[in-house]
Structure 1
Amino acid sequence: MPIQWFPGHMASARKKAAEAMASIDVVIEVTDARLPEASSNPMIAELRRFRNRPCLKLLNKSDLADPAATRLWMDFYNRQPGVKAVAISAKSAAEVARIPALCSQLAPHRDDGVKPLRMMIMGIPNVGKSTLMNALLKRKVAKVGDEPAVTKHQQTIDLGPGMTLTDTPGMMWPKIDYDADGYMLAASHAIGRNAVIDEEVAAFLGEILIARYPAQLAARYRLDAALVAALDGPALVEAVGRRRGCLVKGGGLDLEKAAQILLQDYRDGALGRISLETPETRAQMIAAAHAAAAQAADEPADAADEAAGDGD
């Protein structure tokens, strides 16, 4: 089932961000390093390109992501015009401290002591914008929570001499084009739980983990490596449920609880450093989605031809 999530306040947030974009110098886009492109709101790129604003793209939560995959994404983004990509953890003070200087490099015209360097933080829900904002200011000014869409209001604060920082609410976009993106976002807790079914999301996540990180699954849940390789996503959820004693009355498996365990272990980094996509796997996913869409579009025409033939 395709996943879509666009709460009403996000349309207003987009309008206010577009208005603020006219007076800022650098867009700081925060993404999840485990799924950098799936967690990149296409509306942000549209807004900043319309205003011709440079982008400091932060691959946050890099301490949870596969380092090899992160390096590939850094190369991918740093080849794009007007973009500087940096992998960080917003929990690292040293890494966060680099951000103002990086923004200054992207807007050298503001290094004149006349007008302040104006930066704006943007990104989808639950990628760590509020944590980053608090770390930059070295005090709590933004509410932090392990739920998407905690921040609902835009605010601008002086960051220091000659610098201002605007924090925006997490913004999704009205329609997620690829089903896989919806599932990756849900697995990473960027989408509200009321819009997803945990068992389906965990099964999707399981397919990726079995294909790319089987050893980490085997170690975490004390499963035989050969067994892991033979599982599919739903079977992995069942195996986790059996290993963790997720039972309902009568002895059956509590698949919802098992799914939540797998999802939380991924989100917390208990499975190790995991990335859900690379530039290569994303290109393959998009190609497969387009091929499936083309085939689906041809099928009605084929059916109509067959019906016409039957009538001859």
Structure 2
Amino acid sequence: MSVQWYPGHMNKARREIEQVMTQVDVVIEVLDARIPDSSQNPMLTTLRAGVPVLRLLNKKDLADKARLALWLEHWQGNDTILAHPFSTQDKADVAKISQWVSQLVPHRGTAEKPIRAMIAGIPNVGKSSLMNALLGRRVAKVGDEPAVTKAQQKLKVTNGFVLLDTPGILWPKIENPDASYRLAVTGAVRDTAIDYEDVALVGLRFFIKDYQDALVTRYKLKDLSSDPFEVLKVIGSKRGALRAGGKIDMHKAAEVFLNDVRTGAIGPYVMETPEMIAHEELLVEEAKAKKEAEKQARLAAAVPQRQQEKNREYRNQQAQQQDAKAGDKTE
């Protein structure tokens, strides 16, 4: 799946982050607990350049706790990364944020030297909800669609804690196609940019492999096919996604399934593990290396062809000059 999601306002957001990063003491990166790696922004990792980061694995109530624990263990031992499961609906979690950022920036936190934190994250991951929860009032627009936050804001949480909000940004190109699909399954990509059936089939393939019981329970399945297309047809028939003549409306069936996945109706899940991501990254690097090798081979093959063309041009020029000389002698 090819996702185009780098409009002008996101390019502008990148420049804004570059400008304010020198003033930031800590980055609060809001991640989707269901896709802890795919919801990270590699561009942000580059831009923060060593600035400590508090990773809030938001929507923890929708995530498989056992798999989430693998990610917490994976990040342990990194002095610049502090990660916690999180929910903007949990007041206890919200109350702990000041404590967590203080752990990362112990030398600041007074009225004279407040902790300057920047909230960042991909669209539709819960940044605006976090701001509203932290400040105890509605200061940021909350929407179900990505990229509703578009203007930078600076807000005081306490005398010793200041927030800088930045628009949600996505990197220009997602090199891992599997990550693209996971972002689409969980709703980080605008629905206008995806093919519902295509994304639903990817999601079903994952649930058939890793969370069979969730599918069987949610849709009351007697037999679970290994073919995601067949499972989607069954979901459509059970949920009234029918056209005239009893034909399954696959688009409607996909909408039903993806809505269940995104709202948590299908049950808690995490779509990736550190081990899986490491394997995918290796495959991506191998694919890039292969592509580069093919490019260099084409360039190398083109050199003799260009030289042969130059030789032909040279011979033609020589022949023309000889013909011209022969004509002069005849005259």
Residue 16 of structure 1 pairs with residue 12 of structure 2: no
1:310 corresponding residue in structure 2:
none
Q: Are positions 1:43 and 2:38 aligned together?
A: no
Cα 1:23–1:203 change in 2 (3 A) is: same
Question: Which residue matches 1:264?
Answer: 259
Identity of aligned residues (%): 45
Equivalent residue number for residue 318 of structure 2: none
Shift of residue 194 of structure 1?
1.8
The answer to whether the 8 Å contact 2:26/2:54 transfers is yes
Q: Which residue of 2 aligns with 1:121?
A: 119
State how far apart, in whole Å, the 2-side matches of 1:298 and 1:19 are. 37
Shift of 1:48: 0.9
Measure, in 1, the Cα distance between the counterparts of 2:36 and 2:182. Answer: 10
Distance 1:220 1:263 in 2: 13
Q: Distance in 1 between matches of 2:294 and 2:221?
A: 43
Q: Which of 283, 292, 299 is the aligned partner of 2:278?
A: 283
1:243 corresponds to which residue?
A: 238
Per-residue CA deviation, residues 1-41 of structure 1 (Å, 9 max, x unaligned), is 33332222100011112111111111000100100110000
Aligned partners of 2:175 and 2:284 also within 8 Å: no
- 1:295–1:133 CA distance, 2 compared to 1 (3 A): same
Q: Deviations over 1:195-248 (max 9, x none)?
A: 110111111111110000001100000102xx32x3222222222111112111
Residues 71-90 of structure 1 mapped to structure 2, 5 A cutoff: 71-90=69-88
Q: Is the 8 A contact 1:4 1:182 kept in 2?
A: no
Listed one character per residue, the Cα deviations across residues 71-111 of structure 1 (whole Å, up to 9, x for unaligned) are: 00011122334111111111111111100111111111114
| 1:190 alignment partner AA | A
8 Å CA contact retained: 2:34, 2:270 = yes
Cα offsets for 1:122-160 (capped at 9, x unmatched): 000011111111000010001111111111111001111
Instruction: Determine if the alignment matches structure 1 residue 253 to structure 2 residue 248.
Output: yes
8 Å contact from structure 1 (residues 3, 183) kept in 2: no
TM-score calculated relative to the size of structure 1? 0.90
What pairs up with 1:224-239 in 2 under 5 angstroms?
224=222, 227-228=223-224, 230-239=225-234
Check 1:112–1:89 CA distance in 2 against 1; reply closer, same or farther (3 A cut): closer
**Alpha-carbon displacement from aligned partner over 1:153-175 (angstroms, at most 9, x marks no partner):** 11001111221111111111100
Moved more, 290-299 or 68-77: 290-299
Secondary structure at 1:164 match in 2: strand
> Which range moves more in the overlay, 244-253 or 173-182?
244-253
**Amino acid paired to 2:82:** K
Alignment of 1:1-312 (within 5 A): 1-49=1-49, 52-111=50-109, 113-224=111-222, 227-228=223-224, 230-291=225-286
Q: 1:61 Cα shift?
A: 0.7
Q: 1-side partners of 2:19 and 2:294: how far apart?
A: 44
The number of residues matched between the two structures is 299
Indicate if the aligned counterparts of 1:59 and 1:88 stay in contact, CA closer than 8 A: yes
Deviation, structure 1 residue 120: 0.7
Alignment correspondent of 1:309 = none
Aligned residue for 1:130, secondary structure, equals helix
Structure 1 residues 295, 241: closer, same or farther in 2, change over 3 A? farther
**CA offset at residue 259 of structure 1?**
0.5
**Displacement after TM superposition at 1:250 (Å):** 2.8
Aligned to 1:308: none
Segments of 5+ residues of structure 1 without an aligned counterpart are 306-312
Secondary structure, in 3 states, of the residue corresponding to 2:60? coil
Structure 2 stretches lacking a partner, 5+ long: 302-331
Q: Distance in 1 between matches of 2:244 and 2:30?
A: 44
What is the aligned-residue RMSD (CA, Å)?
A: 2.0
The aligned amino acid for 2:35 is: L
Question: 1:97 aligns to what SS in structure 2?
Answer: helix
Report the secondary structure of 2:246's partner residue.
coil
Q: Counterpart of 1:236 in structure 2: which amino acid?
A: V
The C-alpha deviation readout for 1:245-304, integer Å capped at 9, x for no partner, is 2111232111111101111101111111111111122223333444555667778979x9
Q: What does residue 311 of structure 2 align with? A: none
Larger Rg: 2
